[in-house]
Amino acid sequence: MADENENVSTDDQELADEWAAALAEAGESSQDDIDALLNQGVPTPPPAAPKAPLEEFGQAPKANAQQVGLDGPNLDVILDIPVSISMEVGSTEISIRNLLQLNQGSVVELDRLAGEPLDVLVNGTLIAHGEVVVVNEKFGIRLTDVISPTERIKKLR
């Protein structure tokens, strides 16, 4: 263990000596210059970004803040963000043993009755219910019940 510490300090001393020799050749050398060059490899933490004041959702917007509307510039930033939409026919829980026994032709019982509406999920959050329709030989979903934005916010809390 002591040998390792001696090797590390010897390596540091050799590096310092090399820098001192290089600075001496350049004409100006001091211990401060050597220390500065040795510490160049040490990353310095980036300056902290200024923090904006947080506002509660229930508070009214400040008078000098821009109003956000459907046609406002602030909403344009998020309108092109892609989201994942999925339709859930139903779900069930099975053991790994039964999962490994599944093969072509197996039937998995779901927790929904035939004819019940499907769940429409956006990024895993329920936003609507719908029924399966066929349009131009492709499956689609006709939304029958859309959950209001206030109810969606309540579910997030």
Domain ranges across the chain: 83-89+117-156
Nearest residue to 126 (alpha-carbon basis) of 157, 93, 156, 82: 156
pLDDT at residue 68 greater than cutoff 60 = no
Q: Which helix (H) or strand (E) covers residue 138, if one does?
A: strand 138-146
Model confidence band, residue 60 (pLDDT cutoffs 50, 70, 90): low
| Residue 4 confidence class, pLDDT cut points 50, 70, 90 | very low
More confident call, 30 vs 144: 144
How many C-beta neighbours within 10 Å does residue 126 have?
14
Q: Which of 79, 94, 88, 92 is nearest to 132 (CA)?
A: 88
Task: Please give the single-letter amino acid code of residue 14.
Answer: E
Interatomic CA distance for residues 150 and 12, integer angstroms: 64
- Judged against a pLDDT cut of 60, whether residue 103 lies above it is answered with yes
- Judge residue 19's burial from the number of C-beta atoms within 10 Å of its C-beta, 0-12 exposed, 13-18 middle, 19 or more buried: middle
Average pLDDT, stretch 39-55? 59
pTM metric for this prediction: 0.46
User: Is the per-residue pLDDT at 96 higher than 80?
Assistant: yes
The CATH code of the domain at 83-89+117-156 is 2.30.330.10
Mean of pLDDT over the chain: 75
Selected residue with higher pLDDT from 108 and 27: 108
The two structure tokens encoding residue 107: 């039937």
Compute CA 150 distance to the chain's CA centroid, rounded to the nearest angstrom. 24
150 class by beta-carbon count within 10 Å (0-12 exposed, 13-18 middle, 19+ buried) = exposed
